[in-house]
Amino acid sequence: MSLEQGVVLDKAGAENFPVAPFFMPGSMRAGLMAVYGFARLVDDAGDGDLADPHATARLLGVPDEAIPDGAIPAGAAPNKAAGTEPAGNDAAETAFRLALLDGLEADLDRAFETVLRAPGAERPRHPLMAALCPVIDRHGLTPEPFRALIEANRVDQTTTRYATFEDLLGYCELSANPVGRLVLQLAGLATPERVRRSDAVCSALQVSSTSRTWRRTAPGAGSTSRPRTWPASASPRPIWTATGRAPSCGR
């Protein structure tokens, strides 16, 4: 196991939910850990929390011109005002994170091509992507939920507010619902009705998680982000504080 692979998987014990409960069958637990490793790796790339982002970039084949010369502090978020493009170092950092996400998507393609035994298929370069291959093969996982999680992290780099509650639910479709769909696929229980119900639960959990980060702010007390069409019956009206990226909402 590589250092970064160990660092990423060790985070499972710090989550506010059990990643792979002991009472589940061994194959299911192994699948959940592999999927968690992917999701945590993608989130860390998008959030700037990789143990060694430069080494990961080179492993994934990110072009040298996209890799900044200086070290990017772990957890540093682009300092973007709502509705504006990042400038200076923030722009370089955002471009680097987007390049990392592109590299991870290319590695995901390698994983599926390897499982499908496509002619000339190249093995995944990142060990956490390689760990997905037997799980994809055993459980018949599909690429769409994985791609959606990567896309959610791309959105995080540029989006600081949502105009409507429906827009927020659209973000949940990328960042939360795919997790439920992958769990259903791992369990061999994916049906249209179960997927529909899973999507509803996952979106609700994500919005609920976001609500814990809401805080009231006085007019002009900084950039805020909330749906302008939040139901009038909701009291108090929620306000999302713009943090440089959309709320992760318990991905």
Taking residues 71-90, report their average pLDDT: 49
Q: Is 249 domain-assigned?
A: no
What is the four-CA torsion angle of 60, 62, 68, 69, rounded to 10 degrees? 70
Which pLDDT score is estimated for 200? 97
Q: Please provide the DSSP assignment of 51-71 as one string.
A: SSHHHHHHHHT--GGGS-SSP
pTM for this predicted structure: 0.79
pLDDT of residue 239: 40
In the prediction, which pLDDT does 243 show?
A: 37
Q: Per the domain annotation, does 204 fall within a domain?
A: yes
Note the pLDDT of residue 1.
Answer: 59
Q: How many domains does the chain have?
A: 1
Task: Establish if 227 belongs to a structural domain.
Answer: yes
Residue 56 maps to a domain: yes
In this predicted structure, what is the pLDDT of residue 2? 61
Q: What is the average pLDDT score of the chain?
A: 81
Residue 206, H or E segment? helix 192-211
Residue 250 within any structural domain of the chain:
no
Residue at 119 is within a domain: yes
Q: What integer pLDDT is reported at residue 15 of this predicted model?
A: 74
Q: Which of 130, 125, 134, 80 is nearest to 100 (CA)?
A: 125
Separation CA 122–CA 125 (nearest Å):
8
Q: Positive or negative, the Cα torsion across 38, 39, 43, 46? A: positive
pLDDT in tens, 116-168: 999 999 999 999 999 999 999 999 999 999 999 999 999 999 987 788 889 99
Phi, psi of 225 (to 5 degrees): -140, 120
pLDDT of residue 38: 97
Which has more pLDDT, 245 or 90? 90
Nearest alpha carbon to residue 103 among 59, 151, 68: 59
Q: What is the pLDDT of residue 187?
A: 95
More confident residue, 43 or 9: 43
Estimate to the nearest angstrom the gap between the alpha carbon of 220 and the chain centroid. Answer: 31
**Domain span at residue 146?**
3-241
Q: What is the CATH number of the domain that holds 13?
A: 1.10.600.10
pLDDT at 233: 45
Sign of CA dihedral 170, 171, 177, 182: positive
The model's pLDDT over 36-56, given as tens digits with 9 standing for 90+, comes to 999 999 999 999 999 999 999
The token pair at 60 is: 């994934």
Assigned domain for 129 exists: yes
For the cut 90, the answer to whether the pLDDT of residue 171 exceeds it is yes
Spatial distance between the Cα atoms of 89 and 207, rounded to a whole number of angstroms = 31
Residue 107 covered by a domain: yes
